[in-house]
Structure 1
Amino acid sequence: MIKHRGLRHLALNVKDVALAVNFYRQVFGMKIVWQPDADNAYLSSGYDNLALHRGSAGDRSAQSLDHFGFIVSTVAELEAGYRWANENQLDIARPLRRHRDGSVSYYVRDPDGNVIQILYEPSISPHTIHGAAEAVE
């Protein structure tokens, strides 16, 4: 087994780095922590990190990502976010629904079509994650 402290980041190939940065800042409140050039940007929520790299169609076809997710603290936050997503005409990939395990989620697509799950998970949502003091707003 490889000893580790947790997942450090997710890296996505995107067509337009500026457009992707704008999406993740406006929709998820992420902040730019480093942008060395127009082809690369590194964002963070304070405990989750996202790398955005300009990629070609060849780069994108080499990977197969189903989705990634952001967790919320309460069902009320989840529902408020879903209303906001609809009001702001985000591309809803799957509508709000309750799952068999008691979790509740919906999915949106970013400008490159990456699917993002917004999730309330009763066993972990109410707890502090990785020592984060509060959610990013």
Structure 2
Amino acid sequence: MIERPAPLNGLRHLALAVYPFEECIRFYTEILGMEVLRKASDNLIYLSCGNDNLSLSRAYEPQENHNQSLDHFGFIVDSKDDLEAWFEFLQAKGVPLLDTPHDHSDGARSFHCTDPAGNVVQPIYHPAVSGQRLR
């Protein structure tokens, strides 16, 4: 019997095919503040907050959401105050907001918005993982 290797170290990579591509790059870099790690080609770019890796590839037409099972993905913030600041910032930038900051039964607090491709993004404070910077 093969033993399980060392534990995984978190979900740190996500790859999305997005349309509109350039608008999504601007959203993640100019609005959310991610850094460009590498532009692999005119159709593929890698971004990061410093402890993760987001791959955006060009989709040539809007994706049929009923063919995808991605519900949403989250970005950790370090405090509830940071979460409120992000909500106010995204609201001021005109980013489509789906709800307002709300508490979860596990002590987390979050809200949801969408990127230009319609992906649901969840800024979230979570006491189990917030504040664990890996930079």
- Which residue is 2:103 aligned to? 98
Alignment of 1:115 with 2:98, yes or no, is: no
Using the size of structure 2 for normalisation, the TM-score is: 0.84
Q: Which amino acid aligns with 1:69?
A: G
The answer as to whether partners of 1:43 and 1:50 remain within 8 angstroms in 2 is yes
Is 2:19–2:63's contact at 8 Å kept on the other side of the alignment?
no
Question: 2:42, 2:115 → 1: CA distance?
Answer: 19
Counterpart for residue 88 of structure 2: 83
Whether 1:43 and 2:50 are equivalent positions in the alignment is no
> Using a 3 Å threshold, how does the CA distance of structure 1 residues 33 and 101 change in structure 2: closer, same or farther?
same
How many angstroms does 1:16 deviate by? 2.5
- For 1:113, what is the secondary structure of its paired residue? coil
TM-score (norm 1): 0.83
Structure 1 CA distance for aligned equivalents of residues 114 and 22 of structure 2? 16
Would the aligned equivalents of 1:12 and 1:53 in 2 still touch at CA under 8 Å?
Answer: yes
Indicate yes or no: 2:18 matched with 1:17: no
**Partner residue in 2 for 1:70:** 75
Q: CA RMSD in A?
A: 2.0
Structure 1 counterpart of 2:47, one-letter code = L
Give distance in 2, aligned partners of 1:101 and 1:5: 21
Establish whether residue 54 from structure 1 lines up as the match of residue 66 from structure 2: no
How many residue pairs match? The answer is 130
For residues 28-78 of structure 1, the C-alpha deviation after alignment (integer angstroms, 9 at most, x for no partner) is 211111112221111111111100011245865543200000011111111
Report the Cα offset of residue 103 of structure 1: 0.9
Distance 1:31 1:109 in 2: 19
Does residue 1:124 correspond to 2:120, yes or no? no
Partner of 2:11: 7
Paired position in structure 1 for 2:30: 26
Identity level (%)? 36
